Structure 1
Amino acid sequence: MAVLLQRPRAAVACLLLYYLTGGLAVPDPRQREALIQLEASMQTGGQMVLTDAEQRLDALLFKMKQEEMARADFPPAMHFFKAKDLIRTGPIFNLLQKMPKGGALHVHDLSMVDVEWLVKNVTYRPHCYMCFTDNQSIRFIFSSRWPKALPRCSPWTLLENLRAKMSNTTDLDNTITGNMTLFTDQDPEMVYPSQDVVWDRFEQAFLAVWGLVTYAPVFRDYYYQGLTEFYTDNIMYLELRALLPEIYELDGSTHDTAWTLKTYQDVTRQFTADHPDFFGARIIFTNSRGVNASVMARVVEEAMKLRRDFPDIMAGFDLVGREDRGRPLWYFREALSLPVERGVTLPFFFHAGETDLEGTDVDQNLLDALLLNTSRIGHGFALLRHPVAKELSRKRGVALEVCPISNQVLKLVTDMRNHPAAALMSENHPVVISSDDPAMFGASGLSYDFYEAFVGFGGIRSRLGSLKELAMNSIRYSSLTSKQQEKALALWQRRWDKFVYENAF
Structure 2
Amino acid sequence: MTVLPQRRHVAVACLFLCCATLGDSVPDPRIRDTLMQLEASMQIGGNLVLSEAERRLGTYIDKLKGEELAQADFPPALHFFKAKPLIRKSPLYSLLQKMPKGGVLHVHDFSLVDVDWLVKNVTYRPYCYICFTYDQSMRFLFSSRLPKPLPQCSPWMLLESLRAKMENATSLDTSIMTNLTLFTEEEPEVVYPSQDVVWKRFEQSFQVIWGLVTYAPVFRDYYYRGLTQFYIDNVMYLELRALLPETYELDGSTHDRTWSLRTYRDITAQFVAEHPDFFGARVIFTVHRGLNESMMTQAVEEAMKMQRDFPEIMAGFDLVGHEDSGRSLWYFRQALSLPAERGVSLPFFFHAGETDLEGTEVDQNLLDALLFNTSRIGHGFALLRHPVAKKLSRERGVAVEVCPISNQVLKLVTDLRNHPAAILMLEGHPLVISPDDPAMFGATGLSYDFYEAFVGFGGHSSHIGTLKELAMNSIRYSSLSPRLQEQALALWQRQWEKFVSEILS
Q: TM-score, normalised by structure 1?
A: 0.98
Equivalent runs, 1:307-322 vs 2, <5 Å: 307-322=307-322
Given that 1:393 and 1:399 are in contact with CA atoms closer than 8 Å, whether structure 2 keeps it comes out as yes
- 1:256 matched to 2:256: yes
Provide the C-alpha distance between the structure 1 equivalents of 2:14 and 2:302, rounded to a whole number of angstroms. Answer: 54
Letter matched to residue 372 of structure 1: F
Unaligned stretches of 5+ residues in structure 1: 1-5
Letter matched to residue 264 of structure 2: Y
Give the CA deviation at 1:169.
1.2
Provide the C-alpha distance between the structure 2 equivalents of 1:42 and 1:11, rounded to a whole number of angstroms. Answer: 8
Partner of 2:14: 15
Residues 151-203 of structure 1 deviation map (CA, whole Å, 9 limit, x = unaligned) = 11111111000111223211110000000000000000000000000000000
Partner of 1:435: 435
Provide the C-alpha distance between the structure 1 equivalents of 2:10 and 2:241, rounded to a whole number of angstroms. Answer: 41
Provide the C-alpha distance between the structure 2 equivalents of 1:395 and 1:424, rounded to a whole number of angstroms. Answer: 14
Partner of 1:223: 223
Local SS of the residue matching 1:55: helix
Provide the C-alpha distance between the structure 1 equivalents of 2:164 and 2:273, rounded to a whole number of angstroms. Answer: 39
Partner of 1:3: none
Provide the C-alpha distance between the structure 1 equivalents of 2:454 and 2:270, rounded to a whole number of angstroms. Answer: 34
Partner of 2:397: 397
Given that 2:435 and 2:445 are in contact with CA atoms closer than 8 Å, whether structure 1 keeps it comes out as yes
Give the CA deviation at 1:19.
2.7
Local SS of the residue matching 1:461: coil
Given that 1:405 and 1:449 are in contact with CA atoms closer than 8 Å, whether structure 2 keeps it comes out as yes
Local SS of the residue matching 1:207: helix
Give the CA deviation at 1:8.
4.6
Local SS of the residue matching 2:460: helix
- 1:501 matched to 2:497: no
Local SS of the residue matching 1:25: coil
Partner of 1:159: 159
Give the CA deviation at 1:20.
4.4
Local SS of the residue matching 2:83: helix
Letter matched to residue 209 of structure 2: V
Equivalent runs, 1:78-93 vs 2, <5 Å: 78-93=78-93
Equivalent runs, 1:214-363 vs 2, <5 Å: 214-363=214-363
Give the CA deviation at 1:12.
3.2
Given that 2:17 and 2:31 are in contact with CA atoms closer than 8 Å, whether structure 1 keeps it comes out as no
Partner of 1:375: 375
Partner of 1:446: 446
Give the CA deviation at 1:18.
4.2
Given that 1:290 and 1:321 are in contact with CA atoms closer than 8 Å, whether structure 2 keeps it comes out as yes
Partner of 1:190: 190
Provide the C-alpha distance between the structure 2 equivalents of 1:275 and 1:169, rounded to a whole number of angstroms. Answer: 37
Provide the C-alpha distance between the structure 2 equivalents of 1:88 and 1:317, rounded to a whole number of angstroms. Answer: 35
Residues 321-362 of structure 1 deviation map (CA, whole Å, 9 limit, x = unaligned) = 000000000000110010011111000000000000000000
Given that 1:88 and 1:94 are in contact with CA atoms closer than 8 Å, whether structure 2 keeps it comes out as yes
Partner of 1:105: 105
Residues 100-158 of structure 1 deviation map (CA, whole Å, 9 limit, x = unaligned) = 00000000001010100000000000000011111111100000100011111111111
Give the CA deviation at 1:33.
1.1
Provide the C-alpha distance between the structure 2 equivalents of 1:279 and 1:14, rounded to a whole number of angstroms. Answer: 42
Unaligned stretches of 5+ residues in structure 2: none
Given that 1:127 and 1:142 are in contact with CA atoms closer than 8 Å, whether structure 2 keeps it comes out as yes
Given that 2:96 and 2:450 are in contact with CA atoms closer than 8 Å, whether structure 1 keeps it comes out as yes
Letter matched to residue 213 of structure 1: V
Provide the C-alpha distance between the structure 2 equivalents of 1:258 and 1:47, rounded to a whole number of angstroms. Answer: 44
Provide the C-alpha distance between the structure 1 equivalents of 2:201 and 2:322, rounded to a whole number of angstroms. Answer: 12
Given that 1:104 and 1:446 are in contact with CA atoms closer than 8 Å, whether structure 2 keeps it comes out as yes
**What's the C-alpha RMSD, in Å, of the aligned pairs?**
1.0
Partner of 1:462: 462
Given that 1:353 and 1:382 are in contact with CA atoms closer than 8 Å, whether structure 2 keeps it comes out as yes
Provide the C-alpha distance between the structure 2 equivalents of 1:190 and 1:107, rounded to a whole number of angstroms. Answer: 27
CA 1:66/1:226 → structure 2, altered by over 3 Å: closer, same or farther? same
CA 1:242/1:407 → structure 2, altered by over 3 Å: closer, same or farther? same
Letter matched to residue 324 of structure 2: D
Partner of 2:364: 364
Equivalent runs, 1:381-420 vs 2, <5 Å: 381-420=381-420
Provide the C-alpha distance between the structure 1 equivalents of 2:92 and 2:134, rounded to a whole number of angstroms. Answer: 44
Provide the C-alpha distance between the structure 2 equivalents of 1:492 and 1:14, rounded to a whole number of angstroms. Answer: 35
Letter matched to residue 18 of structure 2: Y
Given that 1:8 and 1:41 are in contact with CA atoms closer than 8 Å, whether structure 2 keeps it comes out as no
Residues 403-459 of structure 1 deviation map (CA, whole Å, 9 limit, x = unaligned) = 000000000000000000000000110000000000000001100000000000011
Give the CA deviation at 1:17.
4.3
Give the CA deviation at 1:30.
1.1
Give the CA deviation at 1:397.
0.3
- 1:143 matched to 2:132: no
Provide the C-alpha distance between the structure 1 equivalents of 2:154 and 2:315, rounded to a whole number of angstroms. Answer: 40
Given that 1:8 and 1:38 are in contact with CA atoms closer than 8 Å, whether structure 2 keeps it comes out as no
Give the CA deviation at 1:11.
3.2
Letter matched to residue 164 of structure 2: A
Provide the C-alpha distance between the structure 2 equivalents of 1:378 and 1:397, rounded to a whole number of angstroms. Answer: 14
Provide the C-alpha distance between the structure 2 equivalents of 1:448 and 1:15, rounded to a whole number of angstroms. Answer: 37
Provide the C-alpha distance between the structure 2 equivalents of 1:490 and 1:279, rounded to a whole number of angstroms. Answer: 11
Provide the C-alpha distance between the structure 2 equivalents of 1:492 and 1:16, rounded to a whole number of angstroms. Answer: 39
Letter matched to residue 13 of structure 1: V
Letter matched to residue 401 of structure 2: E
Letter matched to residue 11 of structure 2: V
Partner of 1:116: 116
Letter matched to residue 121 of structure 2: N
Letter matched to residue 212 of structure 1: L
CA 1:23/1:332 → structure 2, altered by over 3 Å: closer, same or farther? farther
Provide the C-alpha distance between the structure 2 equivalents of 1:103 and 1:7, rounded to a whole number of angstroms. Answer: 25
Provide the C-alpha distance between the structure 2 equivalents of 1:146 and 1:11, rounded to a whole number of angstroms. Answer: 70
Pairs aligned (count): 500
Provide the C-alpha distance between the structure 1 equivalents of 2:293 and 2:354, rounded to a whole number of angstroms. Answer: 22
Provide the C-alpha distance between the structure 1 equivalents of 2:316 and 2:149, rounded to a whole number of angstroms. Answer: 37
Given that 1:54 and 1:504 are in contact with CA atoms closer than 8 Å, whether structure 2 keeps it comes out as no
Given that 1:62 and 1:463 are in contact with CA atoms closer than 8 Å, whether structure 2 keeps it comes out as yes
Given that 1:103 and 1:237 are in contact with CA atoms closer than 8 Å, whether structure 2 keeps it comes out as yes
Provide the C-alpha distance between the structure 2 equivalents of 1:142 and 1:400, rounded to a whole number of angstroms. Answer: 39
Residues 449-502 of structure 1 deviation map (CA, whole Å, 9 limit, x = unaligned) = 000000000111100000000000000000000000000000000000000011
Give the CA deviation at 1:7.
6.7
Letter matched to residue 16 of structure 1: L
Provide the C-alpha distance between the structure 1 equivalents of 2:179 and 2:477, rounded to a whole number of angstroms. Answer: 35
Given that 1:231 and 1:278 are in contact with CA atoms closer than 8 Å, whether structure 2 keeps it comes out as yes
Amino-acid identity (%)? 73
Provide the C-alpha distance between the structure 2 equivalents of 1:15 and 1:97, rounded to a whole number of angstroms. Answer: 38
Residues 356-384 of structure 1 deviation map (CA, whole Å, 9 limit, x = unaligned) = 00000000000000000000000000000
Q: TM-score, normalised by structure 2?
A: 0.98
